[in-house]
């Protein structure tokens, strides 16, 4: 087995708030192999996005990585100085964000914004950069790319913007693309196109893809392996089939149950009973205990369950994963 491209371990990230700090990531970790597509799924506030922001040094000023490691191609991102990290961002790792309207600078042309990334990481002339930009835009399916490059984001439709965003992420042929809810803000019809595009460029560039989403439909369609996060922790990891057919964590099972039918997407994650946890007031022991239909006041719930391999390549953090193994999916 080859070395993982990205390996996050025991990451703890907290935010400064009035009167103290709030943990947002509580020892999360997962791995991404070269060329692999990994889905990271969880409710809002589960820490899936913060984890990525933490390892890439993109936390807002109130956030801080407390501990953990994040190896990318063998180098610890968390130990890097800002300068070194800048070399990784955009060159080795490309990011695609949720809302392409706000994620693009409204007062710079699309071309400038892509060229900027190119010229940052390779010493090429302005002219060469412009040519490359046009190629990239063409590659992501934007017609008359030369003219489009001179336009501003507000002159693009939502889908076009996201294509441009992908072109930007791909500009330096990164080995890893992280797409953070890339289709959430888009029309349903456009969503499929963007997913196709992502898949295509990933294949063509032979890059790994981390797909952060709360949409299990996207997970099912796109990914090979799935990481389920809850309250700042990874609660289950497995290949996509195992997750969908043999979930070994009650939270995953809850998510799947609330999924109406494969292929039908919803904008909002269907509710599991209860509220997502308030990160400032996490319950003692198992963070999921209040919403868990297996807890029933059992003593085990007073302890934080550790991740354990429940099957080959299938890891779960549940005291009762055994019980789930017998049930299967309803």
| Nearest CB to another protein, comparing residues 11 and 88 | 88
Contact letters (x/-) for another protein, 248-267, by CB under 8 A?
--------------------
Which one of residues 8, 70, 88, 318 is an interface residue with another protein (CB under 8 A)?
A: 88
Residue 58 binds to another protein (criterion: CB under 8 A): yes
Which x/- pattern, by CB under 8 A, does the window 158-177 give for another protein? -------x--x---------
Q: What are phi and psi of 100, to 5 degrees?
A: -70, -15
Contact 40, 229 (CB under 8 A): yes
Q: Which of 52, 197, 227, 240 binds another protein (CB under 8 A)?
A: 52
Binding-site member from 95, 164, 216, 234 for another protein (CB under 8 A): 95
**Strands 63-72 and 75-76, sheet pairing:** antiparallel
CB of 108 to another protein, least distance (A): 8
* Binding flags for another protein, 137-156, as an x/- string (CB under 8 A): ---------------x-x--
Dihedral pair phi/psi, residue 256, rounded to 5°: -65, -40
Does 68 contact another protein by CB under 8 A? no
Residues 221, 224: Cα–Cα separation, whole Å: 9
Q: Do residues 228 and 237 lie in contact, with contact meaning Cβ atoms separated by under 8 Å?
A: yes
Alpha carbons 75 and 7: distance in angstroms, whole number: 10
If the CB atoms of residues 180 and 236 are measured against another protein, the closer one turns out to be: 180
Which of 190, 101, 115 is closest to 145 using CA atoms?
115
Q: Are 47 and 24 in contact (CB under 8 A)?
A: yes
Q: How far is CA 262 from CA 35, 86, 145, 314, in A?
A: 25, 39, 36, 22
Task: Provide, rounded to whole angstroms, the least separation between the CB of residue 308 and another protein.
Answer: 28
> Which CB atom, from 247 or from 279, has the smaller least distance to another protein?
279
Q: How crowded is the C-beta side of 128, counted as CA atoms within 13 Å?
A: 6
Count of residues in contact with another protein, rule CB under 8 A: 56
- What angle do helix axes 158-170 and 188-205 make, rounded to 10 degrees? 20
**In the chain, how long is the greatest CA-to-CA distance?**
67
Q: How far apart are the first and last CA of the chain?
A: 34
In this chain, which stretch among 67-75, 106-114, 200-208, 264-272 interacts with another protein, using CB under 8 A? 106-114
Pattern of binders to another protein over 203-242, x per CB under 8 A? ---------x------------------------------
Site string for another protein, 266-285 (x = CB under 8 A): ------------xxx-----
Identify the residue among 41, 160, 170, 180 touching another protein (CB under 8 A): 180
> Which of 91, 246, 248, 314 is in the footprint of another protein by CB under 8 A?
91
Site membership for another protein, residue 102 (CB under 8 A) = yes
Extract the runs of DSSP E, i.e. beta strands, from the chain.
6-17, 20-32, 37-41, 63-72, 75-76, 93-96, 176-180, 208-213, 225-230, 233-239, 308-311, 314-316
User: Could you list the residues that contact another protein (CB under 8 A)?
Assistant: 15, 17-18, 22, 24, 44-45, 47-50, 52-53, 56, 58-63, 82-83, 86-91, 94-95, 97-99, 102-109, 116-117, 120-121, 152, 154, 165, 168, 180-181, 184, 212, 278-280
């Amino acid at each position: 087995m080859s070395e993982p491209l990205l390996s996050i371990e025991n990451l703890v990230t907290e935010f400064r708030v009035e009167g103290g700090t709030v943990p947002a990531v509580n020892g999360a970790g997962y791995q991404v192999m070269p060329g692999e597509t990994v889905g990271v799924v969880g409710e809002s506030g589960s820490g899936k996005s913060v984890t990525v922001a933490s390892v890439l040094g993109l936390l807002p000023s109130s956030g801080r990585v407390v501990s953990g490691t994040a190896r990318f191609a063998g180098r610890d991102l968390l130990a890097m100085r800002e300068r070194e990290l800048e070399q990784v961002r955009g060159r080795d790792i490309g990011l695609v964000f949720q809302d392409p309207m706000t994620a693009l600078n409204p007062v710079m042309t699309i071309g400038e914004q892509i060229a900027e990334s190119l010229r940052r990481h390779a010493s090429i002339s302005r002219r060469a950069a412009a040519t490359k930009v046009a190629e990239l835009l063409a590659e992501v399916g934007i017609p008359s790319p030369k003219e489009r490059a001179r336009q501003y984001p507000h002159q693009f439709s939502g889908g076009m913007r996201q294509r441009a965003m992908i072109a930007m992420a791909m500009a330096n042929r990164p080995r890893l693309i992280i797409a953070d809810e890339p289709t959430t803000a888009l029309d349903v019809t456009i969503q499929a196109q963007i997913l196709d595009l992502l898949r295509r460029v990933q294949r063509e560039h032979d890059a790994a893809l981390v797909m952060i989403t709360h949409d299990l439909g996207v997970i099912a369609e796109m990914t090979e392996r799935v990481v389920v996060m809850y309250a700042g922790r990874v609660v289950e990891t497995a290949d996509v089939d195992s997750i969908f057919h043999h979930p070994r964590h009650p939270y995953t099972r809850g998510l799947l149950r609330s999924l109406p039918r494969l292929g039908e997407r919803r904008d909002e994650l269907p509710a599991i009973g209860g509220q997502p946890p308030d990160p400032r007031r996490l319950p003692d022991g198992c963070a999921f205990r209040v919403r868990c239909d297996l807890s029933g006041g059992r003593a085990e719930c007073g302890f934080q369950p550790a991740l354990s391999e429940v099957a080959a390549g299938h890891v779960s953090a549940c005291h009762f994963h055994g019980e789930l193994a017998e049930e299967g999916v309803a």
